[in-house]
Structure 1
Amino acid sequence: MPLKGFLSSKGANALRRARGGDAASALSDGEKLAMLDQLEQSGLGWFWASDPDGKLTYLSAAIAERLELPLGDLLGQPLATTFAPIEGEGRTKSLSLMLGAHKAFSGFAVRAAKRPDGAVLRLAGQPAFDGKKFTGFRGTGTDITDQYHREVETARLAKYDSLTGLANRHRMSQIIDSTLTAFRQAKRNCAVMMLDLDKFKHVNDTLGHAAGDELLKQVSDRLRRAIEVDCEIGRLGGDEFQVMLPDLDDRGELGEIAMKIITMLKQPYSLEEGRCVIGASIGIAIAPHDGVTREEVVRSADLALYAAKNGGRGQFRFFSGELENEALFRRRLEEGLDEAVRENQLFLKYQPIVDASSKGVRTLEAHICWMHEQRGEIDEIEFASILDGSSQIVEVGKWAIAEACRHAAEWPESVRVAVNVPVPLFGSDGFVDDIASALSAADMAAGRLELEISEAVFFGDTEAVDRTLAQLFKLGVRLTLDEFGSGYSSLAYLRRAPFDTIKIDRQLVEEAEHHDKGELGLIKAIVALADALDMDTIANGIESMDLLAALEECGVRRMQGPMFAEPMVRETVETELIGDAWKIEPSGDRTKRARRRTVFRKIQVIHDDHSYEVTLRNLSKSGALIEGLIDVPKGTQFVVDLGGGQLAVATVIRSSGDTQGLEFEQPLVEDGSGGLCTRNRVSPYALASAGAPLAALSQGSYKGMQGGLLGQSGSVPQFGYARPSRSEAA
């Protein structure tokens, strides 16, 4: 349609009314055309028209130019197929309905169908009639490309983390919520991982926030590569991440994914500001086993993450009902630490540091442990995690130094004692005086005390740090720079401080164990630097003969780790120090002690339709040893109820008296804390179908599940109970 015909339509009448009614009629047709031509060319107003069949009869040339399409290719084409609404197919159908129903429309954001990435227009249209006869549509168009992109970016920022591009906390909450709601109806499983970075704060503090941001980007990239199954990954803020894995409840597979993430994230990072190494801890919960709603599942995963971090970091944990009690008990431990100091419940263990060439014990490193009234012994690793951040850290640190000096005063003068100095203790008032007092009270030479100082002390007041180091040097104690090579090490520390020894970061040593040439090269460089500065080097955490040989080849002078000895009590140390010089030959038979809960406990086993209570004596991936039943022939099948919905089918392969050896039909898997668990658990959906309400699994036995799924009471037992021993009867 020519512009003159367009002007004679309702659109021209509307324009006339908008400009003041009949006053507009003073304009000639030529003036009207000129004015509208100018309006179209300016881009402030664009027009279009269609015939009764919805085909374009007029389109402002400026629209075609903005769409980067020839005007001739657009005229005569159906409006509904020429423009594609950006909101999706549903709006296309609505546009077709509007045109077919001869109804007015407005606010349709569209793109040219042939330019899906091109300009964005907002269309409006009014039906035109000649009397009662429908003659087509007349409409306007507006370029909203910039506005649209701003809105898209605003919407994206509302859903995604601006730094990493991962989903943000709000979007993850929405996705997990909607997924779990839908999965409840379909009886599907869904796993949630909570992930927290270890040592990230050190990177932020030492290399700066720009380096921290770049590190988070690299972590996000590695997370995407590490998880090869369908998932949604989000950054909740800071160094906390969340992963949702739909249709996955196999704890074996989930454990493998978690370990792959941990392994990939602890590999060194190269940043513009320097090289760094961090770690990660992961907590895992599975719906509906560990919760039905988002709040329940995320809380369970959070508790598992808390347990993973408290267990030594760099590990994963599955949620279990016991973790909540563990978390409560741990908080009580932290609150009761001041009482432990007052009641003399703390004690020291010592781990030997040996000379690499002679294998003689040169130093004993002190570790703080806690003999708790209810919990029993809390070892050095768990105690360190309790002490970290505690208000008692300075007082406990002072006590440890004084106690170590008191003990070492009784040892041969050729043996030194090493004590770790927490950062708050180093910066406390009177720290050097406290060291001098401890040495004086023990009547021990200052040169026999080694203070292990973290690089983190250098983040404080420069003048105060230098003054303290100078006073310690004057006092005569030996200084060890701890965790060197952790990624934010600086030669400035070595120039500023009179260190005697460099202790190579444990993670660096662990990486070298995998025969990483880069890590071994870095260790060689550290050794060369130490030699040039006339310093000793210590490698800690050595667990294999191959690693020991590689470190000796690198020139490391002093060694420490399970290959030589675990931390031992004072009495054992003093026994070993009697007589000739104490030497320890490395042994491949020594392995790091298993950190797991005892398996000596009561469990249920089910045969046919009867449940028996037995004692679980030991547990491995492939089987178990139970005690308590007699007359059980080989080949008997049991369902072993390990609690918390963990059921394992097992066959008796050995039977002697009241003891049976069982072989599992499906091997158990690692539970992330040194223990074992079943791959799958009783489905809460099965319980719900049997009449129980849908809820997270409890920790109890599942022998009495409704609906006859397992053994019911009242049935006739086929096996008898062994007579209890006197100790059991007591």
Structure 2
Amino acid sequence: MTEVRLATLLGLRDDGDPAQWARIRATQLYAGRRLALFLLAANLIAAAATASLFAGQVALGQLAAWGAFATVTAVAVAVRRLATPHRTEGCFASVQDLRGTIGDGIALGMVWAIPPLFFQQGIETGDAYVLWMILSVLMTAVALAMAPLALATIAFVGSLGLAVSTTLAISGAYAAAGATMLFTTMLLLASLNRAKSLVVIRASQMALTERNDTVSLLLREFEDNGADWLWETDASRRVMRASPRFAYACGIDPVTIEGMPFLQVLAGPTWESGNFSAGLRNLANKLKSRESFRDLRLPVMVGEEERWWELAASPRFDESGGFCGFRGVGSDVTEQRASADKINRMARYDTLTGLPNRLMVNETLARAMADAEKWSGRCGFMMIDLDRFKAVNDTLGHPIGDRLLSRVSERLAQLMDDNAMCGRLGGDEFAIVVRDASDPRALERLAHSIIEALSRPYEVDAHTLHVGASVGLAVGPRDGRTAEMLIRSADLALYRAKDAGRGVFHAYEPALHVQAEERRVLEVALRGALEKGEMHLNYQPVVDAGTGVLKGFEALVRWNSPDFGSVSPVKFIPLAEEARLIAPIGEWVLRTACDEAARWPSEVRIAVNVSADQLQNPGFVAVVASALASSGLPAGRLELEVTESVFMHEGLGATKTLERILDLGVRLSLDDFGTGYSSLGYLSRTRFSSIKIDRSFVQGASKGVKEAIAIIRAVVALAQSLGMATTAEGVETEAEHEMVQELGCTKVQGYYFGRPLPVTEARELAIRSWGATRAA
């Protein structure tokens, strides 16, 4: 600081750095404090000398009153000066503090203006000279003691010099009056020069200290980290005194960056959205807590490019100990981080989603379980499986599926915090490790948040995609003492969530292990069921809705196990599909049904259910042709029943397979219409001969449910317009029969017309029914 304005020196205005001038003003006040006792002694000695000079010439009461006034004023001024903080470092003073010192000068000036103005009349010339000497010495002493407080010095010296000059001019001593004014002016100039020197010296000391701190910090950081630019903020976390290298590193010119919020500079485009990186949030916490930090890395957008910075900084405090900002250094570590990240990701991160892979998930879970064991706590493990993802892959292709997985991983990552980590196990399976799982409600809220977030629509390459999520949870060490056991428990809970209808959350229960073991044993038994002849077919009649004439049978597979007894199809069919056993079982059902139907009257048809897995097999058409050829059954008497779910595998050729089957002359029936992925597009692309109305609609309509009645009517109208028959399933009473007949269904099946029959009974019914029909 080479230039100090007079108004700033006097405290009439604030200029430059407020924090710097606050410390300078504290130094001025402290300098005045150091000579406070000297100022008091000078005033008391001068007052005693003046009182003795006027003793006998001025009334004793007046002289005593003035003496008391002078003493009280001098003591009050000294007390005010001594009240100034006794340290210069760590203190600050406001403009008002400096302006307040003018009161000291005015008070002392009023006290000492009284003798020359009111006591001097009638005294001898020699005494007047003595008074002038007393006052001149006092003015010099006060100017010396109060010089750092320039405003107070001007008030005292100026007012007293004016009073003495006025008295001398009135008495006709013009030369003496002029000399007094000259002396006063010189004294004021000397005081101002001394005050200015004090300010310049103090400013230089602070600048030197600041440079030393900066140099020390830079040297230390350069030596340790190779830092390459300096940054600094004020108490409001705004950039101040931005170095050109820092502004260049930010991609912002130095004029624009000055005064910008430091976090906004680093956040870049994400400042408005609030979608900050974890590193930036960590930095914000460090700045908020006003603590030193180093080796803090975070991403920064510079233009259109993401760079990685490493920051280190320490807080700054003013002379009163008040916080006034941060000063730190930074380095661009993009290249170093890229190399380290590449190595790390190759080993522990999924290349598609960027999430931790199975290896890192297992390592994190093992650490979480070790911590839980050490601190007698709990950790959690969630397994997530996407619902309907396979259909997206099959219909739109793997590139779209990969993009969808990336979007899923982004949503999962946004739900994570310091207590949870998500990773991808492979395919459409994800996992979450919860380090502290002591709050069951928090785990449940997280699971529901995951399901809700992943179930929202996705926009991928102009496609609106809908998938869901099922979540299984296990808590360690309660549900598993090792990472492997806990993963197994979470997997079992996930299976239960899928069985419950998908899109739900389920926690592990000990009974799941028992069920899993039963399922495993059941699967082993199922694998040998065909070879051991444990399976057979039952046949449920299908009749004309109006006449009750037998139209055909639906073949239904049954399993009688020597170990498990009669196993429900609801239990073993899903198991067969999961274990990839549905293809051989389905082929056996088809061949057996064709062989049996070939023995029936030629008007009786046989219906066989076909799964989506069978249609995915390119050789299935050959299996149908072989079954017809070996049995001698005409193709027109065979009807294959498929559900709407097979069209979710259209990317694997379901429609083409069905078209080839139709070319054989086989009929197709759309089973359980309205309960799956309903779309009129399926009906327009495939030549179905009939539509089967699910039993749930029949039962609902029998109870007067308007929606069920409306659906049956709509299906019937649709089938009639397309030239298809309609079969109502699950008709159990005469009333239901009459109802579906009135609604326009052409065929019915259900317990009212016959339960699934063993092969001999079905054969007898077929022969008897058609024999009676011909006789009629």
Normalised by the size of structure 1, how large is the TM-score?
0.48
**Which structure has the highest strand share of the two?**
1
For the pair shown, the structure with the greater C-alpha radius of gyration is: 2
**Which structure has the highest helix share of the two?**
2
Normalised by the size of structure 2, how large is the TM-score?
0.46
> Which one has more relative contact order, counting CA pairs under 8 Å at least 6 apart?
1
